[in-house]
A and B are shown apart, each in its own frame.
Chain A
Amino acid sequence: MPTPAPRVRRVVFVDGVRTPFGRARKDGLYANTRADDLSVKTIRELLRRHPSLPPERVDEVAIAATTQQGDQGLTLGRTVGVLAGLPRSVPGYAIDRMCAGAMTAVTSTAAAIGVGAQDVALAGGVEHMGHHPMGFDADPNPRFLSERLVENDALNMGVTAENLHDTFPALTRERADAFGAASQAKYAAALAAGKIDPDLVPVALRDPENGWGLATADEPPRPGTTVEAIRALPTPFRPGGRVTAGTAAPLTDGAASCLLAAEDTASELGLPARMRMVSFAYAGVEPSIMGIGPVPATTKALQRAGLTIDDIGLFEINEAFAVQVLSFLDAFGIADDDPRVNQYGGAIAVGHPLASSGVRLMLQLARQFADHPEVRYGLTTMCVGLGQGGTVVWENPNHTDYESSDASEGSAL
């Protein structure tokens, strides 16, 4: 008897939600809220929005966090599943690729679905940077420095952003400032147009001093930010540097999760497909200029999909720093203000709760797909600390050329 071959299936992004993002501060939205609870709210909201999904059909819960201890410890995927009320039969795990944690949760579970090992997965990430400052309690191996494996400031993300400015002199502070201000403006416009709220799940806020509140909106954005207003901001990472609070993502608390399914399972269960995964790739780069990571990752993902950059009609690129987005745009010959890029603004405005941002990019791309049926392909991409990039290429089910692979089976969807 021959060895059974894996059943390769396409994977669809059914839906995604996130918590409102909060500032990672002592007086921030989530100062008194647990990280795992944030994740729980997103999972429960996804299940609530899709009552046709029997919870016991979820095959995996993969939740990312960069710092996996305290309220982000204890195998998040499992704890969040139990706390969210999923049946005990549903397994889960925790995953980490720093900023690309949620993206990796998505691609890992998608891969398992793709080879027929699973049908339905919940994937997401959470980062409470107020409870877990980046790199806190980390114990880097001294060999990194003694053997000069990385430069001694490669673990300071702001410094790596300054390094990018050095490496690509065309990336000026003026371009970065303009991009940063535009991010705020695009976010404000998207918020006003009702593009942000539908993806948010409200979170109850315990406050012993003032009573319970409810988080219903992102806290980090600074609407009305102008280039003039940020032109004179200090450069905390280097005297006379170029990176400022106006061109960097603020420290943020938040969680995001999504529901993935095999295309045929989605049909069977009556679940919508808001995006279909085409390809994904991760790539490593020199840690001291980690922000360039999305460039090789995107090249690889496009190659694997048999597509070129010209096939991509919408980009959701994480804005850890404006300069890092600009390095990507320059690499692919895209204008700084290209309307295909970050239509709702980005992390500079909304914030970047490290391991959850990957799914935020996806749920925003999914919403843009619905508004742009003329676009067939889009991508989500992000840089990763210590020198990596990750990219996922997605297809728009609203496009006229889209064919459900399940159509041959006579599905209505």
Chain B
Amino acid sequence: MSTPTAERRAERVTHAHARDIRLPGGGGTLALVTLDNGLDHTKPTTLGPLGIAELTATLTGLQARAAAGEIVAVAVTGKPYFFVAGADLTQVGSITDRPTALAFARAGHAAYELLHSMGVPTFAFVNGVALGGGLELALNCDYRTAASDVRALALPEAGLGLVPGWGGAYLVPRLVGIEKALDVVLTRPATNKPYAADEAASIGLVDVVLDPADFLEESIRWAARVVSGEIAVERRPLDPAPLWDGAVAVARQRLDAVVAGSRPAPGRALDLVAEARDASRTDAFAAEDEALADLIMSDEMRASVYAFGLVSAGKRPAGAPDRSLAQPVTRVGIVGAGLMAAQIATLFAQRLGVPVVMRDLDQERVDKGLAAVKATVDRLTSTGRMGQAAGARLLGSIHGTTDLAEFASCDLVIEAVTEILDLKKRVFAELETVIAPTAILATNTSALSVSAMAADLQHPERVVGLHFFNPVAAMPLVEVVQAEHTSLEALATGFAVAAKLRKTAVLVVDRPGFVVNRLLVLLLGVIVDAVEHGTPVEVADRALRPLGLPMPPFELFDLVGPAVGLHVLTSLREDLGDRFPRSPGLEKLVADGTRIVLPAPAKGLPKPVDPAIQAAFTEQAVGTPLDEAGVRSSVLTALTVEVGHMLAEGVVSAPQQIDLCMILGAGWGFHLGGLTPYLDRTGYSERVLGRRLLPDGVANVPTV
């Protein structure tokens, strides 16, 4: 993969075409502005400096025509499937100084302000995706229609290191009320959940939802009725100050707990929303400009743009063999009927639409696996997320058996049995006696050697690793593991299957723990090691808060299961050495089955470590207790060392692949850029490895 610097392209200029529309019933002329970059639907319409300049020119011309009485309304719409997908992040991410950043922020505001001061009513006909600056363009209009098939209306800025600074922070709370506004500006970006048109209308983000079949025609008709006074759109009064301030205070507490200063954007966005009630439009917009300028010049924003780019490009995996080498998969076998196996079976049956056979040693386990599948399907159908017929098809396509021979006609068999090498080797050896010579064997191992698993087979080249993450349905990453003898066909099939499962696949070579588990388990090992050396568990648990990880370390331990965590830690130590420390305290905790975290104080907040587990460590504790910074430093140092080893071993081809894995497999934040941008900007890579991991400016504000 080339660096984003090399990819940085010229702006795809979004043009602002204006055409006159005769309103029905002699209602005068509406000027309809179409925003269109002249490219097909695979190239979303975005706004960079040139696009903003063109929009400004078009709207300025229309303002003069409005003053001259030539037009009675102005409307803005987009090319098919897109209203506007937002500001052009590539352009924004290449700004090198604050004055330019401030000028870009102001230019957007100035263009949009024309829609507010047009002199005639302005309308946004939201025909497709309207994100960030795109939705803000609509919000700056007087009225909004949306097509009922639009599923992506959102202000994702706070999740991308920015704020909705082209009017969003000021306009949204005034339009939809403070409580919903906090959802729009903060909560939804954090969960990456955009609004569909109906939902947007229900909170007042758009005024009316119209059928896509004649959306533009009916939007124009609706606009004509607004212009004529036949339709009056009610706006809600401003929320009272106590309600406003109360909601902001609650949001602030939540940010303090979850974001914990790891990135500036959410707090800046909240500041702007907090002020929106009493600030003048001019002052509020000026504050938005300043916030945008600050954030555009922040490393967190640059890392976010880098991360966004990685995730977007992740659909075309680096290093994947030619697609044409992939073998057709018409029937899938799953060895094992445990929880992971049932999840994998369900996903394969659903996304590949092929029969899946799940096999275990006795009928009781098979029945348990099938029951797990049924429970999942029942949940999907009862909540309406899946139709009854689709649910019936899914259940009908998953079959359980104890008979190994039923794998005979499968072209892909995945094992998901207990993580014991000899057991897995035996499973593969048995499989080879029944399956076709061309059938692919895959393993869902998380830390064992795939090459070792394949070593004694007649056809070791047919073995590929497909490492899924728990929960399988929700986690977007699959590590596709290339073992020593893995054939290009097997590898290509792995990638093809991952794509059909709608997962992002990352090619990794067969080194212990691959990427995600190697780094996460190392992190846990170092945390526990600090405790072994006398650091209080609570200090260790809080040490990584400034990174803004999805959860604190002991909660992560609890999630993966302390026994599994210990097992992988032990296994990695055996393969990779004492960098993965031994922890008698952890072994005791696992042996005793001790609870390690307390319940979360509220839904969505982190689960703190149970201070009582300190007891498991105290007997052995020797060494120097560390403070939070010390723990953090030892974790980051260890991670940096490990990244150095992984790159040297060729686990992945580039740091970008590590970052993609950490973002999608571990949920690490865009603001960290995954991992390596953070290690670069905090100086760890220079100090530990003597070099940056990514070139300067790729995922940070260039230092020179």
Contact = CB atoms under 8 A, between A and B. Distances in A.
A239 to B, nearest CB: 43
Contact of B213 (A44, A206, A210, A217): A44
A208 interface: yes
Contacts of A216: 21-22, 24
A214 B20 CA distance: 9
Contacts of A40: 213-214
Given A40-B214, A85-B211, A214 B22 contact: yes
Contacts of B214: 40-41, 44, 204
Interface in B1-60: 17-19, 21-22, 24, 32-34, 36, 38
A202 B217 contact: yes
Contacts of B623: none
A260 interface: no
B182 interface: no
B213 A211 contact: no
Interface in A179-221: 201-204, 206-214, 216-217
B80 interface: yes
Contacts of B34: 210-212
Contact of A211 (B33, B220, B221): B33
A84 interface: yes
Interface string B315-359: 000000000000000000000000000000000000000000000
A117 B32 CA distance: 47
B582 interface: no
A405 B246 CA distance: 70
Contacts of B77: 212
Interface string B62-89: 0000000000000001011000000000
Contact of A212 (B22, B38, B216): B216
Nearest to B33: A211
Given A202-B24, A202-B220, A213 B213 contact: no
Interface of A: 40-41, 44, 83-85, 201-204, 206-214, 216-217
B213 A83 contact: yes
Contacts of A209: 17, 38
Secondary structure of the B contact surface, majority rule: mixed
A206 B81 CA distance: 12
Interface of B: 17-19, 21-22, 24, 32-34, 36, 38, 77, 79-80, 211, 213-217, 220-221
Given A212-B34, A214-B32, A216-B22, A203 B217 contact: yes
Contacts of B18: 211
A51 to B, nearest CB: 14
Contact of A210 (B17, B80, B211, B221): B17
Nearest to A203: B217
Nearest to B58: A211
Contacts of A207: 17
Contacts of A201: 217
A214 B17 contact: no
27 contacts: A41-B213, A44-B214, A85-B211, A85-B213, A202-B24, A202-B220, A203-B217, A204-B214, A204-B216, A207-B17, A208-B38, A208-B79, A209-B17, A210-B17, A210-B19, A211-B17, A211-B34, A212-B32, A212-B34, A212-B77, A212-B216, A213-B21, A214-B21, A214-B22, A216-B22, A216-B24, A217-B22
B220 A214 contact: yes
Contacts of B221: 202
A210 B34 CA distance: 8
Contacts of A203: 217
Contacts of B211: 44, 85
A382 B66 CA distance: 48
Contacts of B80: 206
A217 B21 CA distance: 11
B15 to A, nearest CB: 8
Contacts of B22: 214, 216-217
A208 B217 contact: no
Contacts of A44: 211, 213-214
A208 to B, nearest CB: 6
A208 B213 contact: no
B471 to A, nearest CB: 35
B51 to A, nearest CB: 14
A211 B19 contact: yes
Contacts of B19: 210-213
A203 B217 CA distance: 6
Contacts of A41: 213-214, 217
Contact of B217 (A84, A85, A214, A217): A214
A271 B599 CA distance: 65
Nearest to B80: A206
A412 B699 CA distance: 76
A44 B214 CA distance: 8
Contacts of B21: 213-214, 216
A44 B217 CA distance: 11
A212 B18 CA distance: 8
Nearest to B211: A85
A214 B21 CA distance: 6
Contacts of A206: 80
A41 B214 CA distance: 7
A82 to B, nearest CB: 10
Contacts of A217: 22
A147 B213 CA distance: 49
A71 B687 CA distance: 64
Contacts of A214: 21-22, 32, 216-217, 220
Nearest to B79: A208
A214 B224 CA distance: 14
A84 B213 contact: yes
A53 to B, nearest CB: 17
A226 B216 CA distance: 38
A154 B281 CA distance: 73
Contacts of B79: 208
A214 B79 CA distance: 14
B18 to A, nearest CB: 7
A203 B38 CA distance: 21
A216 B27 CA distance: 13
A208 B38 CA distance: 6
Nearest to A204: B216
B561 to A, nearest CB: 48
Given A206-B80, A211-B17, A212-B32, 12 more contacts: A40-B213, A40-B214, A84-B213, A202-B24, A204-B220, A209-B17, A211-B36, A212-B34, A213-B19, A213-B32, A214-B21, A214-B216
B23 to A, nearest CB: 9
A207 B217 CA distance: 15
Contacts of B213: 40-41, 44, 83-85
A201 B18 CA distance: 22
Nearest to A216: B22
Contacts of A208: 36, 38, 79
Which 8 A-B residue pairs are closest in the complex by CB-CB distance? Answer: A211-B17, A211-B34, A204-B216, A214-B21, A212-B34, A213-B19, A216-B22, A202-B217
Contacts of B17: 207, 209-211
A214 B22 CA distance: 8
A247 B48 CA distance: 53
A213 B21 CA distance: 7
A211 B16 CA distance: 8
Nearest to B22: A216
A11 to B, nearest CB: 28
Contacts of A204: 214-217, 220
A85 B36 CA distance: 28
Contacts of A213: 19, 21, 32
User: Which of A44, A84, A212, A216 gathers most chain B CB within 10 Å?
Assistant: A212
A96 to B, nearest CB: 25
Contacts of A212: 19, 32, 34, 77, 216
A212 B128 CA distance: 14
Contacts of B220: 202, 204, 214
Contacts of B217: 41, 201-204, 214
A217 B80 CA distance: 24
